A and B are shown apart, each in its own frame.
Chain A
Amino acid sequence: MYYNVLKILKEGLNDNKGWKKTWQNPEIKKKYDVIIIGGGGHGLATAFYLAKEFKIKNIAVLEKNWIGGGNVGRNTTIIRSNYLLNENEAFYEFSLKLWETLENKINYNAMVSQRGVLNVFHSDAQRDSFVRRGNSMIINGADAELFDVDKIKSIYPFLDYDNARFPIKGGLFQKRGGSVRHDAVAWGYAHAADELGVDIIQNCEVTGFKIKSGTCIGVETNKGDILANKIGCAVAGSSSVLMSKANMNLPLESHVLQAFVSESLKPLIPGVITFGAGHFYISQSDKGGLVFGGDIDGYNSYAQRGGMDMLEDVCEGGLALMPTIGKARLLRMWGGIMDMSMDGSPIIDKTHIKGLYLNAGWCYGGFKATPASGWCFAHLLAKDDSHSLSENFQLDRFKNGYMIDEKGQGAQPNLH
């Protein structure tokens, strides 16, 4: 089904009775060329690019719950490419470029809105590090601007500029950053993949791998065994649990990250703003709710809910940055399970088991990476060779010493 304006007008006159399902509910085949485990953003994007760009047919996506119920529907919807290290920045800039043309490619309104991302800084030292980061962004083909206080005041007059402890000294701005309707990303990729013949199978949990003499030939699921030539795992916070079924320990810890939404307010915040003295980021959705978040709770968790102490910490950061939100009431909060890696950077790689591939370790930056992650993972699955932009995201880099440690925190996942 192709969505366009004529179709909307026609259906408007037709009582909206002619719409078909956004994706089908197909029968499971006995064998596929490629199985993707995980029907989140990354898994669905992988399936879409496999079919669209790499012309692979006969693909299945297995999702243990329903499409859009995991981290792709649990994030704060921010897209940006403002990293320091070349390995990350080139990859995330590729992702941002894919976001810019995504809606036409998948024929779905994902509400991609490049309303700008501002990182404020509060000291001379922090300014220097942000300037360095901005230069790294520009070198890698991204856009970055340094804003002085007057410029920020003209766009964001409601910030607390004279905060005694954390006065705002300026900010690093990326105009092409912004936000995307996250559910629509899952639905749009599912729709587009389905159009290309990908079988999207919901409520299908993988319970084991069929491994014969070092080669993975299929999966065991609650809906029976399914064979495949290649199997790609993209299950984010559940990666360690899944890969333990292939007797693998991963360089990951699973942590809970909370997100919060306020009641709907009139337009207040024209973009994404991050606090430089604590961990706090905020934007306003098109429905008017303030969408904000902070740090992970800090201990291993698979609970998809967090503690009140982190809520307090996030709100303290928010009030230090913009006291005006103090009167807004909190409407909803939820948690998602992050696959925190040992250097804060992701993994897109083969495993030591032939036919078994891994996409994991997105920490809490996975949403913005969705298109590039899907593209690069599809490249790896189709060609058995890493895409040049993800060739550094190797599983064995921890053994070989090629860590990509953006924050320089070492092997301490809850600090990345």
Chain B
Amino acid sequence: MIIDHPLLGPRDASEFIYLGDASLLNRPNWDEEKSEDNFYKYLYLRENVAGMHKELWFHQQGDRSWLVISRNTVTHEIFKVELATELKKNMGKSND
């Protein structure tokens, strides 16, 4: 697979490591009433779709940026590549 990095252009997927579903960006609040259940779902449960999947990739052998990639898990076609930091800013959360 070739990943079209927003800053560096097309890079081979072997330069990256894969973390998983981009829902991991939505870390639950620890002090909510249902936080135990929320963290269980956040940490262990996945939609694991066959089709369009938003997922986190880390450019380990490059600029060490985190990317959010929209990819079809059936065809491996990549539709969108975004910087996770930008996405997180737009989500209105701190850059942690």
Contact = CB atoms under 8 A, between A and B. Distances in A.
Interface of A: 238, 240-241, 244, 249-254, 298-303, 307, 309, 342, 398-399, 411-414
Given A299-B55, A302-B74, A253 B48 contact: yes
A303 B76 CA distance: 8
A309 B14 contact: yes
B50 interface: yes
Contacts of A240: 46-50
B40 A300 contact: no
A21 B43 CA distance: 48
A298 B17 contact: yes
A300 B55 contact: yes
Interface string B50-62: 1001010100000
B44 A303 contact: no
B1 interface: yes
Given A298-B18, A300-B73, A309-B14, A244 B44 contact: no
Nearest to B42: A411
A66 to B, nearest CB: 20
B13 interface: yes
Contacts of A398: 40, 43-44
A106 B73 CA distance: 38
Given A254-B73, A298-B18, A300-B73, A249 B13 contact: no
Contacts of B64: none
B35 to A, nearest CB: 13
- The interface residues of chain B, by DSSP majority, are classed as mixed
Contacts of B94: none
A398 B39 CA distance: 11
Given A302-B74, A342-B44, A414-B18, 17 more contacts: A240-B46, A240-B49, A240-B50, A241-B49, A249-B46, A249-B47, A250-B46, A251-B45, A254-B73, A301-B73, A303-B73, A303-B74, A303-B75, A307-B1, A307-B14, A411-B44, A412-B20
Given A240-B46, A240-B47, A342-B44, A413 B1 contact: no
Contacts of A413: 20
Given A240-B46, A252-B48, A302 B73 contact: yes
Quick one: which of A300, A307, A399 has the most chain B CB within 10 A?
A300
Contacts of B88: none
Interface in B17-50: 17-21, 40-41, 43-50
B45 A249 contact: yes
A398 to B, nearest CB: 4
14 contacts: A240-B49, A241-B48, A250-B48, A252-B46, A253-B46, A254-B48, A298-B17, A299-B18, A299-B71, A300-B21, A300-B53, A303-B73, A342-B44, A399-B40
Contacts of B46: 240, 249-253
A227 B49 CA distance: 27
Quick one: which of B44, B71, B76 has the most chain A CB within 10 A?
B44
